[in-house]
């Protein structure tokens, strides 16, 4: 009894230390003999008249024929041997086509990319306009939606390019006619996105960039869900953002206070976005490059986003 206990206590660690060896041994047995037989038997029972890869070339098919299924199929063209690998490109190409039994298509293998809707947002003064202006210079195939606004034009802004500057009455009439995808009252001024403009450019294959504040981005997320790409722009720090706003010299001190306090809250909404891009002081081009890379990656997605406006 004592001996048996001693033996089992000695054997257990020995047995467990041998487990990895046992696994390797079993795996190698399986890979050398059992698995190939299993695979070929399964294929034979599924495709008794065909070789499983559809080869018409006996030399390629023969290893798979070992377990005894035949290639005689009266519908097949006569057997043609594959040209040697040093044959010229055309001969080899044709030979491969003949062996596979169908010609190679030159159609693109990837589906045509669907126009993207890209929402760029971030706190006031972070550089949304600056990033979009630069992006406009360096990328083609994007339509930058011109927002309608009831706010007064700033020096240098052009009607129809920077914004559609409309009166409050005109803006509210657009709302009544359901012409806006989204609109909001921002710091006392209305801002809204005209739908038709987006539809027209998407129909022509353009990607769409929308520039909205955080409140607008939240509304768009509820309308578009994950069918659009949401990018959150941030400054490198809160202090940098405040200095940028001060230096823009477009706000009174009271307006600055509201924007800065709001920005603090808005940064917390970053988690509702798909991407964050830092627009650091003096590094506008890097930020724009990153936005471009995001657009490129989105275009390479296997499952494309499909926004319907």
Ligand X SMILES: Nc1ncnc2c1ncn2[C@@H]1O[C@H](COP(=O)(O)OP(=O)(O)OP(=O)(O)O)[C@@H](O)[C@H]1O
Q: Give the residue numbers annotated as catalytic, written as ranges.
A: 154, 248, 259
C-beta of 224 vs 288, nearer to ligand X: 288
Specify which residues 2 forms β-bridges with. none
C-alpha 32/C-alpha 40 separation (Å) is: 13
The stretch near ligand X (CB under 6 A) out of 20-28, 48-56, 125-133, 290-298 is: 125-133
Q: Give Cα separations from 21 to 9, 11, 29, 151 (angstroms).
A: 20, 15, 12, 77
Q: How many residues belong to the site for ligand X (CB under 6 A)?
A: 15
In the complex with ligand X, which residue's Cβ is closer, 44 or 218?
A: 218
- Pick from 116, 118, 126, 209: which binds ligand X (CB under 6 A)? 126
Q: Which is nearer to ligand X, 158 or 300 (CB)?
A: 158
Under rule CB under 6 A, which residues in 236-255 are in contact with ligand X?
244, 248
Residue 59, CA distances (Å) to 52, 70, 83, 95 in order: 14, 14, 12, 13
Q: Which residues contact 219 (CB under 8 A, 6 or more apart)?
A: 182, 184
Binding mask 97-116 for ligand X (x = CB under 6 A): --------------------
- The residues, any chain, with a CB within 8 Å of residue 151's CB and separated by 6 or more, are 163, 165, 188, 189, 190, 191
Rank residues 99 and 124 by Cβ distance to ligand X and give the closer one: 124
Binding residue for ligand X, selected from 40, 51, 57, 124, defined by CB under 6 A: 124
- In angstroms, the CA 163 to CA 190 distance is 12
Whole-number minimum distance, CB 192 to ligand X, in Å?
15
Please list the residues that pair with 121 across neighbouring strands: 232
Helix axes 253-266, 238-248, angle to 10 degrees: 150
In the region spanning residues 268 to 287, those forming contacts with ligand X, defined by CB under 6 A, are 279, 281-284
- Interface map 136-175 toward ligand X (x if CB under 6 A): ----------------------------------------
Residues 193-222 close enough to bind ligand X by CB under 6 A: none
CB of 141 to ligand X, least distance (A): 22
CB of 234 to ligand X, least distance (A): 10
Binding window for ligand X (CB under 6 A); candidates: 43-51, 117-125, 142-150, 268-276: 117-125
> d(Cα 163, Cα 148) in Å, to the nearest integer?
6
Residue nearest to ligand X (CB): 127
Q: How far is the CB of 92 from ligand X (least distance, A)?
A: 54
Helix, coil or strand: residue 72: coil
Q: ∠ CA(85), CA(91), CA(92), 5° rounding?
A: 35
Q: Which of 152, 145, 155 is nearest to 168 (CA)?
A: 152
Q: Name, in order, each residue with C-beta under 8 angstroms of 19's C-beta and a sequence gap of 6 or more.
A: none
Based on CB atoms, which residue is closest to ligand X, 151 or 195? 151
Instruction: Give the residues lining the site for ligand X (CB under 6 A).
Output: 122, 124-130, 244, 248, 279, 281-284
């Amino acid at each position: 009894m004592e001996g048996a206990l001693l033996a089992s206590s000695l054997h257990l660690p020995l047995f467990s230390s041998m487990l990895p060896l046992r696994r390797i041994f079993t795996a190698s047995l399986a890979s050398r003999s059992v698995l190939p037989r299993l695979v070929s038997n399964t294929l034979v029972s599924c495709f008794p008249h065909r070789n499983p890869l559809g080869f018409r070339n006996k030399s390629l098919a023969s290893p798979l024929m070992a377990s005894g299924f035949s290639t005689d199929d009266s519908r097949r063209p006569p057997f043609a041997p594959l040209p040697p690998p040093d044959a010229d490109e055309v001969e080899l190409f044709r030979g491969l086509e003949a062996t596979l039994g169908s010609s190679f298509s030159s159609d693109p293998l990837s589906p045509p990319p669907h126009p993207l809707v890209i929402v760029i947002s971030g706190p006031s003064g972070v550089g949304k306009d600056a990033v979009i202006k630069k992006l406009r210079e360096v990328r083609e195939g994007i339509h930058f939606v011109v927002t309608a606004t009831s706010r007064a034009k700033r020096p240098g802004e052009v009607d129809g390019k920077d914004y559609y500057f409309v009166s409050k009455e005109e803006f509210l009439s657009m709302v009544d006619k359901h012409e806006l995808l989204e609109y909001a009252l921002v710091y006392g001024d209305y801002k809204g996105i005209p739908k038709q403009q987006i539809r027209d450019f998407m129909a022509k294959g353009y990607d769409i960039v929308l520039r909205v504040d955080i409140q607008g981005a939240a509304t768009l997320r509820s309308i578009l869900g994950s069918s659009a790409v949401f990018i959150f722009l941030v400054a490198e720090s809160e202090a940098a953002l405040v200095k940028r706003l001060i230096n823009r010299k477009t706000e009174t001190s009271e307006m600055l206070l509201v924007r800065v306090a709001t920005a603090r809250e808005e940064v917390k909404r970053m988690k509702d976005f798909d991407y964050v891009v830092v627009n650091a002081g003096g590094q506008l081009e890097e930020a724009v490059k990153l936005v471009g890379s995001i657009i490129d990656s989105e275009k390479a997605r296997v499952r494309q986003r499909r926004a319907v406006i």
